[in-house]
Amino acid sequence: MKLKKYTASTMVEAMAKVREDFGDDAVILSSNVTKTNGFLGLFRKRSVEVVASYDKTNIERPYESQVRSVQPVVEPESVEHMQREMREIKQLLKDIQQVDHSFEKFPDELLPILNMLQLQGLEGKYITEIGNLVFNRMKQDKIDFTKEQQMELIRTWFSDRLYDIPFGGITYQKKFINVLGPTGVGKTTTIAKIAARALLEEKKKVGFITTDTYRIAAIEQLRTYANLLQAPVEIAYNEEDFRTAIEKLKDLDLIFIDTAGRNYKEAKFVNDLSKLIDFSLDMETFLVLSTTSKEQDMDTIIRQFTNFPIEKFIFTKTDETDSVGSIINLILKYDIGVSYYTDGQEVPEDLTEASLEKMVDLLLAGDSRA
């Protein structure tokens, strides 16, 4: 890995030097604002120090470097990985056995829909509740319900369970739209989609603040979207920068805050975020999760953010999975609704404002794919 320290009068100048040497794949390891000693302690100048890295060797000879680095720990990691997978398989088998056992009392006419809900990843206890509702109505009315009638009763169950949970996009009543979430879930693209809708459909003046200063490529991605929308972008490396950015953009209608993508299973990164963002502002905060992630992993992330004022979830990549039952499970578990879900990379097209009906449609669409 190649490390280099840069000193410049401004952060913009320092980042330009990093980009010139390492390109957009550089990783910023640290940044610091210092003041040089002036004459007799006077006329001190502000300067910025940035430490950047670029693992050129690993890119040019990835196989050799990866094998060399992994060899000392292959056996411990393999054992731990296998044990973890065995635990997950055992739990999965346990869940399936419990659900399948509950299916025995239901007539054959119900099994296709119940099996579909199971394949979608809906929690077993909810499937049993749905099965009981439909089966009891069948016995009460003494008829064999058609598939369409069964689906209508299932929708009734979801409407009753989700009735008090809020759904829908940004309210346009608060100035700051703060978007949180782990790395790789598509936060920046999602922010661009929401901002584009606000600008094009609601004629709002929008701007961006990014605190994702870990990767230069992330900053450039947001700048690309902002240029298309002719919207300003401010970069916040620390709390002072964040306050300065707010002051610069104060005349705008909406300010979208793109936070760093980190492994938020680690409490350290969550704490860092709480220090950087001023959550006391007139702000709506959303947590972005990818539907391609395991439900257990999403659940861990949500629990890490329980002390944050999360308004609603945003679920991405619904087009990349055939199992969206985890969305419903998490909504019911935390009583937190959904503002949007995304099903592609096009800006702003592949963004749907969520509603109770649309979320149920998304789940039951598995029946048409089966």
Give how far the C-alpha of residue 134 lies from the chain's centroid of Cα atoms, to the nearest Å.
35
Can you name the CATH fold of 176-369? Rossmann fold (3.40.50)
What is the β-pairing status of strands 351-353 and 338-342? antiparallel
Give me 71's structure tokens: 């060899």
Cβ contacts of residue 274 below 8 Å, gap of 6+?
307, 308
pLDDT at 60: 43
β-bridge mates for residue 51, sequence order: 5, 30
Among the listed residues 31, 65, 37, the one whose alpha carbon sits nearest the alpha carbon of residue 49: 31
pLDDT at 326: 93
Per domain, the residue ranges of the chain are: 2-60, 93-162, 176-369
Following DSSP, what letter does each residue of 273-342 receive, concatenated? HHHHS-TTSSEEEEEEEETTS-HHHHHHHHHHTTTS-EEEEEEE-GGG-S--HHHHHHHHHHT--EEEEE
pTM given for the model: 0.71
pLDDT at 73: 42
Model confidence over 204-243: pLDDT tens digits? 999 999 987 777 777 888 899 999 999 999 998 888 999 9
Model confidence over 76-131: pLDDT tens digits? 656 666 666 666 665 555 555 444 556 777 888 888 889 899 989 999 999 999 98
C-alpha distances in Å from residue 176, one per residue of 78, 179, 249, 258, 307: 45, 10, 11, 11, 19
